[in-house]
């Protein structure tokens, strides 16, 4: 049997599962997307998508039209199952792997000898061996011989998912060599980057460490911003100048770290290795403190309870995703503090009405997310709309435009 004659089932057709399913369908496989959400399934079967991701709508439309990709709320037999479900952390910062467990139990219903099960969801190191394998063993099949299992973490960045799914290197962490070898064959059908084989726990740790690396570096940038504010200098200038050094690459400070990955995954290590993961824990705390710090900057500019216009509410620029967005926390703090809040975000339907109408009568505007659209802001119109022309820029996005514009009281996070 040629590899492309194998039937694929992607369990969870969300932010990662849907692009993954589409790419396999585009590569020529027959793909079934399984999801518990009837609306998601119905939308996909109509060839529609429910998330914003450049290029995805076109691919989905064409593979659904060609019959290569379908979706169902019923699990059906397949040759390879790819699990792409969320692994959130609760308020207690403990990983919730129940969606992975549920997916494995669902797959158990149709599992047969010769099948392959691949976990793509970011997971606490050990999950594949201790959870996935254990549940699949309930089938009575020999896991590792009759059923092959691997962890192949997805490492794509929202906004460039389709490109990165193909171009990025891919780690294939099998529970044994046979599993790595067979699972790698699936990825070889579309991945242009390197395919690197290892064991399942190493693969899990690589993924968690990649996001932890970024979180710790962002925390360092945020700590630098706090120090520069006290020094009365600009962290942005320090960053720019320091990054001329060939071995330095300081990350970007800001109002906090959001999303379902970087603000989440480091907790997997803190939970399991609390005594050891001290730097990682501290970095999480620093990044989590940034919405509160931003609130403090707003209070300094507008000590009286006033009307604040927030530009951008997503967790990062040019996406529609609000999961774990630090801006939601900032908005909560403002409201608790008695501030009136007006929100504009061109990527979020609920908030995409006219920018200038939204901030009409505001005492302060906060550039909260550096969406590309905000480079085009008309400062004459903005000045007219505002009651008092005050701006807090959390991303140093408008300095070039506003540094010589004395109509505005203009402050930047990280600049004292």
Sketch the per residue contact string, 210 through 229, with ligand SAJ: x for CB under 6 A, - otherwise: xx--x---x-----------
Nearer to ligand SAJ, 81 or 315 (CB): 315
Indicate the residue whose CB is closest to ligand SAJ. Answer: 261
Nearer to ligand SAJ, 33 or 158 (CB): 158
* Nearest distance in Å: CB 132, ligand SAJ: 18
* Binding span for ligand SAJ by CB under 6 A among 82-90, 209-217, 223-231, 371-379: 209-217
* Cα distance between residue 72 and residue 52, in whole Å: 21
* Nearest distance in Å: CB 260, ligand SAJ: 7
* Nearest distance in Å: CB 335, ligand SAJ: 21
Q: Which residues pair with 171 in a beta bridge?
A: 196
* Binding span for ligand SAJ by CB under 6 A among 55-63, 198-206, 252-260, 341-349: 252-260
Burial 197-228 (b: 16+ CB within 10 A, else e): bbbbbebbbbbbbbbbebbbebbebbbbbbeb
Structure tokens at 404: 């010589």
Taking CB under 6 A as the rule, does residue 157 contact ligand SAJ?
yes
Taking CB under 6 A as the rule, does residue 156 contact ligand SAJ?
yes
Q: Which residues pair with 117 in a beta bridge?
A: 81, 149
User: Which member of 17, 19, 258, 414 binds ligand SAJ (CB under 6 A)?
Assistant: 258
Q: Which of 44, 42, 52, 45 is nearest to 15 (CA)?
A: 52
Nearer to ligand SAJ, 83 or 262 (CB): 262
Taking CB under 6 A as the rule, does residue 147 contact ligand SAJ?
no
Taking CB under 6 A as the rule, does residue 160 contact ligand SAJ?
no
> Which one-letter DSSP state was computed for residue 393?
E
Nearer to ligand SAJ, 174 or 258 (CB): 258
Size of the site for ligand SAJ (CB under 6 A): 20
Nearer to ligand SAJ, 158 or 389 (CB): 158
Cβ neighbors of 269 (< 8 A, separation 6 or more) are 124, 125, 208, 212, 277, 280
Under 8 Å between Cβ of 168 and 195: no
* Nearest distance in Å: CB 146, ligand SAJ: 31
Under 8 Å between Cβ of 32 and 72: yes
* Binding span for ligand SAJ by CB under 6 A among 19-27, 256-264, 275-283, 340-348: 256-264
* Nearest distance in Å: CB 197, ligand SAJ: 19
* Binding span for ligand SAJ by CB under 6 A among 170-178, 228-236, 254-262, 276-284: 254-262
Q: Cβ–Cβ contacts within 10 Å for residue 168, how many?
A: 17
Q: Which of 230, 367, 225, 390 is nearest to 304 (CA)?
A: 390
Taking CB under 6 A as the rule, does residue 315 contact ligand SAJ?
yes
Q: Which residues pair with 197 in a beta bridge?
A: 172
* Cα distance between residue 291 and residue 325, in whole Å: 10
Taking CB under 6 A as the rule, does residue 316 contact ligand SAJ?
yes
Check residue 91 and give left, alpha or beta (phi > 0: left; psi -120 to 50: alpha).
alpha
> Which one-letter DSSP state was computed for residue 335?
H
Q: Which of 18, 55, 65, 53 is nearest to 37 (CA)?
A: 18
Taking CB under 6 A as the rule, does residue 129 contact ligand SAJ?
no
Taking CB under 6 A as the rule, does residue 252 contact ligand SAJ?
yes
User: Torsion over CA of 387, 389, 392 and 398, rounded to 10 degrees?
Assistant: 130
Taking CB under 6 A as the rule, does residue 282 contact ligand SAJ?
no
Under 8 Å between Cβ of 63 and 39: no
Taking CB under 6 A as the rule, does residue 291 contact ligand SAJ?
no
User: Which member of 20, 103, 121, 122 binds ligand SAJ (CB under 6 A)?
Assistant: 122
Under 8 Å between Cβ of 369 and 345: yes
Q: Which residues are catalytic?
A: 207, 261
Nearer to ligand SAJ, 7 or 214 (CB): 214
Q: Please give the distance of CA 40 from its chain centroid, rounded to a whole number.
A: 19
Positions in the binding site for ligand SAJ (CB under 6 A): 122, 154-158, 210-211, 214, 218, 251-252, 254, 257-259, 261-262, 315-316
């Amino acid at each position: 049997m040629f590899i492309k004659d194998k039937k694929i089932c992607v369990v969870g057709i969300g932010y990662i599962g849907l692009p993954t399913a589409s790419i396999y369908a585009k590569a020529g496989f027959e793909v079934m997307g399984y999801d518990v959400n009837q609306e998601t399934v119905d939308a996909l079967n109509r060839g529609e998508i429910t998330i914003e991701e450049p290029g995805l709508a076109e691919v989905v439309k064409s593979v659904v039209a060609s019959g290569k990709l379908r979706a169902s709320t019923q699990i059906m037999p397949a040759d390879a199952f790819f699990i792409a479900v969320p692994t959130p952390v609760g308020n207690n910062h403990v990983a919730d792997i129940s969606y992975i467990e549920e997916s494995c139990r669902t797959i158990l219903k149709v599992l047969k000898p010769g099948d392959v099960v691949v976990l793509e969801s970011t997971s606490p190191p050990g999950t594949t061996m201790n959870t996935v394998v254990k549940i699949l063993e309930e089938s009575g099949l020999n896991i590792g011989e009759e059923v092959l299992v691997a962890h192949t973490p997805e490492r794509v960045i929202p906004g460039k998912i389709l490109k990165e799914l193909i171009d990025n290197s891919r780690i294939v962490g099998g529970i044994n060599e046979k599993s790595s070898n067979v699972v790698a064959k699936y990825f070889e059908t579309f991945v242009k980057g390197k395919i690197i084989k290892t064991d399942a726990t190493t693969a899990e740790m690589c993924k968690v460490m990649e996001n932890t690396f970024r979180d710790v570096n962002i925390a360092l940038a945020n700590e630098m911003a706090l120090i520069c504010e006290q020094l009365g200098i600009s962290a942005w200038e320090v960053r720019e100048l320091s990054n001329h050094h060939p071995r330095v690459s300081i990350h970007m400070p800001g109002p906090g770290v959001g999303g379902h990955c970087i603000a989440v995954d480091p907790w997997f290590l803190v939970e399991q290795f609390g005594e050891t993961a001290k730097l990682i824990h501290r970095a999480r705390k620093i990044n989590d403190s940034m919405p509160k710090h931003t609130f403090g900057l707003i209070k300094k500019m507008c000590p009286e309870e006033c009307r604040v216009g927030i530009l951008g509410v997503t967790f990062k620029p040019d996406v529609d995703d609000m999961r774990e967005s630090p801006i939601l926390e900032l908005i909560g703090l403002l409201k608790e503090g008695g501030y009136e809040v007006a929100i504009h975000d061109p990527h979020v339907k609920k908030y995409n009405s006219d920018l200038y109408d939204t901030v009409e009568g505001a005492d302060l505007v906060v550039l909260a997310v550096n969406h590309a659209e905000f480079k085009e802001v008309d400062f004459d119109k903005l000045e007219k709309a505002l009651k008092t022309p005050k701006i807090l820029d959390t991303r140093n996005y408008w300095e070039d435009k506003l540094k010589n514009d004395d109509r505005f009281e203009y402050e930047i996070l990280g600049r004292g």
